[in-house]
Amino acid sequence: MTKGWLIAIALLLTGIVASLFVGAIDLDMNSFSRSGEGLNLLVVSRIPRTLAVLLTGASLAVAGVIMQMIVANRFVEPMTAGAGSTAALGVLLISFLLPGASIFIKMACACVTSLLGTMVFLAMVRRLPPHQPLLVPLVGIAYGGVVSALVTFIAFQADLLQYLETWFLGEFSGILQGRYELLWLAGVLMLLAYVIADQFAILGLGQSVSVNLGLNYHQIVRLGLVIVSLISAVTVVTVGIIPFVGLVVPNIVSRWLGDNLRRTLPVTAMMGGGLVLLSDLVGRLVRHPFEIPAATIFGVLGALLFLWLLYFPPKSKGVACLRDKERAR
């Protein structure tokens, strides 16, 4: 294990420990000795919240990698390309039609609408000129904005605007034991993505190259869309929309380690979880004992990193060059 890995793991562990002890109620050794109230707070609130943050950041980062391989464009991710907004639309519709629906029914409906919304985005991307890759994220942002406006209009007509904020503003203050366990499904999907990481890497080369290499292109695309839609639905239902995670984290890791997904997916997951954890910690400390949502903090950080990615493109070519040639055909 290299020195860089050791430093990264040490920083992540430091963030996890800080997340367990930072909050509106301070934890110290005395709190553990007073009738177990400190241990109860740790088990019921702090540990579930920390696990939820890590699972959310890691799964969104992995979903961003898969989305970029499917679309063959580095500047897309589920939450800014309509997957998050369409998942929120599904939750809103089922909440309006069946107010007493269980969380699993809401997640299933969110998954279906997210899958349909992602397929619509993919169909629009196929019609864009291949020599203008920056049109893809612009279309995604516009598409997501239109869906968000539709969701807001429906919520306004149904007097559900306050309810809607739960899904559009990603934050972890309401995470308790028994209210985050759906995110473990996202963890299982990350493991599935790692098992077939090589096939997703080939998928990123484009349809012609993938088929020539013996890949069942359409089957892997469908599987990738299901994984992205499920992760988007689970995160939206549980914590809300957190933008830019699936956009900036895969790009940073790709510039650092290349496009070998078998090698980079664990790093992508760890960096995604670490950055969202950092955003959550900053949100707790800026206006302590009040909180700023993690989505707000990461939105600022992600926007700055996105501008850096745009103004300072990578010098290396490799797989990206092959992908551009494939799109040009």
Span 79-136, pLDDT tens digits: 877 788 888 888 888 888 887 778 788 888 888 888 888 888 888 888 877 677 778 8
Gyration radius of the chain over CA positions: 20
Phi, psi of 82 (to 5 degrees): 100, -15
Query: Which pLDDT value is given to residue 107?
Result: 82
- What are the pLDDT digits (tens) for 206-259? 788 888 888 888 888 888 888 988 888 888 888 888 888 888 899 888 888 888
Q: Is the pLDDT of residue 189 over 80?
A: yes
> Which position has the higher pLDDT, 23 or 124?
124
Q: What confidence tier does 322 reach under pLDDT thresholds 50, 70, 90? A: very low
Q: Supply 59's token pair.
A: 């799964």
Task: Output b/e per residue, 113-145; b: 16+ Cβ within 10 A.
Answer: bbbebbeebbebbeebebeebeebbebbbebbe
DSSP state letter for 44: I
Q: Is pLDDT at 48 greater than 70 in this prediction?
A: yes
| Residues 38, 140: Cα–Cα separation, whole Å | 45
Angle between helices 47-71 and 3-21 in degrees, nearest 10: 130
**Model's pTM, two decimal places?**
0.86
Q: Say if residue 5 is exposed, middle or buried (CB neighbours under 10 Å; 0-12, 13-18, 19+).
A: exposed
What are the structural domain ranges in the chain? 52-328
pLDDT at 237: 83
Which candidate, 109, 107, 138, places its Cα nearest to that of 121?
138
Tell me, which fold does domain 52-328 have in CATH? ABC transporter involved in vitamin B12 uptake, BtuC (1.10.3470)
Please give the structure tokens belonging to residue 231.
């992760």
Q: What average pLDDT does the segment 279-302 reach?
A: 86
- The whole-number pLDDT of residue 2 equals 67
Tokens representing residue 106 in the block: 């809401």
Give the pLDDT score at 218: 85
Alpha-carbon gap, residue 177 to 139, rounded angstroms: 39
Residue 35 has pLDDT above 80, yes or no: no
State yes or no: pLDDT of 305 exceeds 90: no
The CA distance from 247 to 13, in Å, is 24
Distance CA 221, CA 50 (A): 32
On the question of pLDDT at 323 being above 90, the answer is no
Does residue 50 contact residue 19 with C-beta atoms inside 8 Å? yes
Q: Is the pLDDT assigned to residue 40 strictly greater than 50?
A: yes
Contact between residue 121 and residue 143 where contact means Cβ atoms under 8 Å apart: yes
Which pair of structure tokens corresponds to residue 245? Answer: 């995670």
pLDDT number for residue 3: 63
110 near 92, Cβ under 8 Å? no
Locate 170 and state its tokens: 């990603």
Q: Do residues 246 and 79 make contact, with C-beta atoms less than 8 angstroms apart?
A: yes
CB atoms < 10 A from the CB of 291, how many?
Answer: 18
What would the mean pLDDT of 262-273 be, rounded to a whole number? 89
Any idea what DSSP says for residue 46? I
Q: Which residue has the tokens 């501008």?
A: 307
User: pLDDT confidence of 277, banded at 50, 70, 90?
Assistant: very high
| pLDDT, position 56 | 92
Task: Give the length of the chain.
Answer: 329
pLDDT band at 311 (very low <50, low <70, confident <90, very high): confident
pLDDT at 74 over 90: no
For tokens 């892997």, what's the residue?
A: 220
